Chain A
């Protein structure tokens, strides 16, 4: 496969998944910055509106972390020194747990939070 076609295909797959990783954020988009550290996310309680696109922007101040939102089948690694971004549009109301899914130490199991999607 030609490199250009391969890049286009990869971009298309990422867009289909609603994932924006390492790319620029559009000017009008709502951005929520989330900091990961042992053993918490800040903020850990995130409120979103159904139907409103959002970009979650992650950084870690210590080790490799992960963000996983299983109910929306969204996840990303959070690599030290890098910014990880997830773009999605909540399509269901409710409270959805997210968790660090890269084992990061003794209290890894407590590293979680929730996204509350309102109408």
Chain B
């Protein structure tokens, strides 16, 4: 893999990304004693395979494939790829749910990078407590380590009431207990763990308990989906970054009383859709986020 400065400069010069967001931690420019190597991963979210709605996305059957092609076309091979939930659009029919999940899995099977992590969203998992999702993708919450960073995937959707739940909170507590307080930790989840907009169901009912468990750790960053747009927020020293959708954008939180999707603009197809690359630089806290369009305008 190239040096990080080369990759950043390349992305900027090539104009491949949108806004590059530096996810620094206020007053904390380094990781102190914690060691973290350079790495790069890609986050995709809210693909809603199976959605039908031409006014919002007339290419609902083709956007996911375009995103896969765009990831494959990146000049820098990511270390891994993560999908942060709502892989499929919900259906009451258990057979159809499994069919959509299987089709999604087949389509993303075309990703050149084989190190792909998945998480459920409420559309995938809330109507059957994650049963179908787990059959096809395995455990809905887990952790893993990569190049000195501890990654934790938290499931706040299999419970239809948007709870992490006592059992998973206990697991999270035990998982984090093995980490040093200055260990770099990245959390993947679907819903915001904080109360972004409970009036729009943009919250996790017991998310504050998860944040309380994370708070003693000094280098925590959360990447999530659900709200179909880029958004950046901090709770204390913890940064939370939501990703764009790959089906249709939603309006900005609180911009009007009722939540609403942003209609498709034929003059600017795929506007507001995309995925992101996330880079970790050695010795630095925080991450550099580069937003990519789903298709070239």
Contacts and interface: CB of A to CB of B under 8 A. Distances in A.
B101 to A, nearest CB: 16
Interface in A64-108: 64, 66, 68, 70-71, 77, 95, 97-106, 108
Contacts of A100: 201
Contacts of B201: 68, 99-101, 108-109
Given A97-B257, A97-B258, A103 B160 contact: yes
A68 B200 CA distance: 10
Given A64-B160, A70-B198, A106 B258 contact: no
Interface of A: 64, 66, 68, 70-71, 77, 95, 97-106, 108-109, 112, 114
A94 to B, nearest CB: 11
Interface of B: 89-92, 122, 126-127, 157, 160-162, 195, 198-201, 205, 257-259
Contacts of B199: 70-71, 97-99, 112
Given A109-B201, A109-B259, A114-B257, A101 B161 contact: yes
Contacts of A68: 198, 201
B259 A106 contact: no
B91 A106 contact: yes
A103 B92 contact: no
Contacts of A114: 257
Given A66-B161, A105-B92, 5 more contacts: A99-B198, A101-B205, A106-B92, A112-B258, A112-B259
A98 B199 CA distance: 6
Contacts of B127: 103, 105
A102 B161 contact: yes
Contact of B160 (A71, A98, A102, A106): A102
21 contacts: A64-B160, A66-B161, A68-B201, A95-B257, A97-B200, A97-B257, A98-B199, A99-B198, A99-B199, A100-B201, A101-B161, A102-B160, A103-B122, A103-B157, A103-B160, A103-B161, A103-B162, A105-B92, A109-B259, A112-B199, A114-B257
B90 A106 contact: yes
Contacts of A106: 89-92
Contacts of B92: 105-106
A70 B257 CA distance: 13
Contacts of A109: 200-201, 259
A31 B259 CA distance: 29
Contacts of B258: 97, 112
A101 B162 contact: yes
A95 B199 CA distance: 12
Contacts of A108: 90, 122, 201
Contacts of B90: 103, 105-106, 108
B55 to A, nearest CB: 15
A99 B161 contact: no
Nearest to A106: B90
Contacts of A101: 161-162, 198, 201, 205
B201 to A, nearest CB: 5
Nearest to A95: B257
Contacts of B162: 101-103
A101 B195 CA distance: 13
Contacts of A77: 161
Contacts of A98: 199
A54 B5 CA distance: 62
A14 B91 CA distance: 37
A99 B200 contact: yes
Contacts of A104: 160
A102 B205 CA distance: 10
A70 B195 CA distance: 10
A102 B159 CA distance: 9
A50 to B, nearest CB: 20
